[in-house]
Amino acid sequence: GIQVEQSPPDLILQEGANSTLRCNFSDSVNNLQWFHQNPWGQLINLFYIPSGTKQNGRLSATTVATERYSLLYISSSQTTDSGVYFCAFNDMRFGAGTRLTVKP
């Protein structure tokens, strides 16, 4: 099956900093989504982005299907951005996640 690598596995930021999270795939994928699992365990949809670029406030995402990666950008991070960020692909298969901690 297709392998996915999410990087970095852990990230600690000071409030206000920017960050880039990445998913690399071993083969072409479709149906790419990004989710945020908040500290209470809730899984929140961020982007459905099989290809191209989307923006929503301080967050944006880019998927380059031909290059087999997707990026999630978080600008001006806030403490409420803390949690785990997952990418999902194909039949909703998940990467291991990036654990983000934003410190005040």
Partner 1 sequence: NAGVMQNPRHLVRRRGQEARLRCSPMKGHSHVYWYRQLPEEGLKFMVYLQKENIIDESGMPKERFSAEFPKEGPSILRIQQVVRGDSAAYFCASSATGNTEAFFGQGTRLTVV
Task: Compute the least distance from the CB of residue 16 to partner 1, in Å.
Answer: 27
* Closest by CA position to 102, among listed 80, 87, 86: 80
Residues in contact with partner 1, counted by CB under 8 A, come to a total of 19
User: Does 54 interact with partner 1 (rule: CB under 8 A)?
Assistant: no
Rounded least distance, CB 13 to partner 1, Å: 20
Q: How far apart are CA 51 and CA 84, in angstroms?
A: 22
Is 31 an interacting residue with respect to partner 1 (CB under 8 A)?
yes
Selection from 25, 62, 59 nearest residue 44 by Cα: 59
Does residue 45 belong to the site contacting partner 1 (CB under 8 A)? yes
